[in-house]
């Protein structure tokens, strides 16, 4: 997750399928110049200068999320500060 620490955003107001232009605008605003957004209760959104790079970010973030879930399932989490983690 270190790679995404300063490159990602969590979007907590996601309500499901984007049907309104202004919700898409809000997601884009929250994402800003970041590479990855986690849409709460939905999944991952990635961007990049090409489809290949956006796909690489997506696959990498998906693997990070899987590793996080496996680590949490293994037992008591160990808290590590952002400064110590990277």
Q: Which pLDDT score is estimated for 58?
A: 93
54-82 pLDDT, tens digit per residue, is: 999 999 999 988 988 898 899 887 777 76
Q: 28 phi and psi, to 5 degrees?
A: -60, -40
Contacts of 52 (CB under 8 A, 6+ apart): none
Q: How many domains does the chain have?
A: 1
Bigger pLDDT: 26 vs 85: 26
- pTM reported for the whole predicted model: 0.70
In which domain, by residue range, is 12 found?
Answer: 2-85
What are the angstrom distances between the C-alpha of 68 and each of 28, 33, 65, 71?
Answer: 26, 24, 5, 5
Q: Which pLDDT score is estimated for 39?
A: 80
7-58 pLDDT, tens digit per residue, is: 666 656 666 667 777 777 888 888 888 888 888 778 888 989 999 999 999 9
């Amino acid at each position: 997750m270190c790679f995404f620490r300063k490159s990602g955003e969590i979007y907590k107001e996601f309500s499901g399928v984007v049907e309104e232009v202004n919700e898409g605008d809000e997601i884009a605003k929250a994402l800003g110049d970041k590479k990855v957004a986690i849409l709460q209760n939905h999944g991952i959104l990635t961007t990049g200068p090409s489809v290949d790079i956006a796909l690489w970010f997506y696959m990498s973030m998906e693997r990070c999320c899987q590793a996080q879930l496996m680590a949490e399932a293994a037992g008591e989490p160990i808290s590590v500060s952002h400064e110590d983690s990277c």
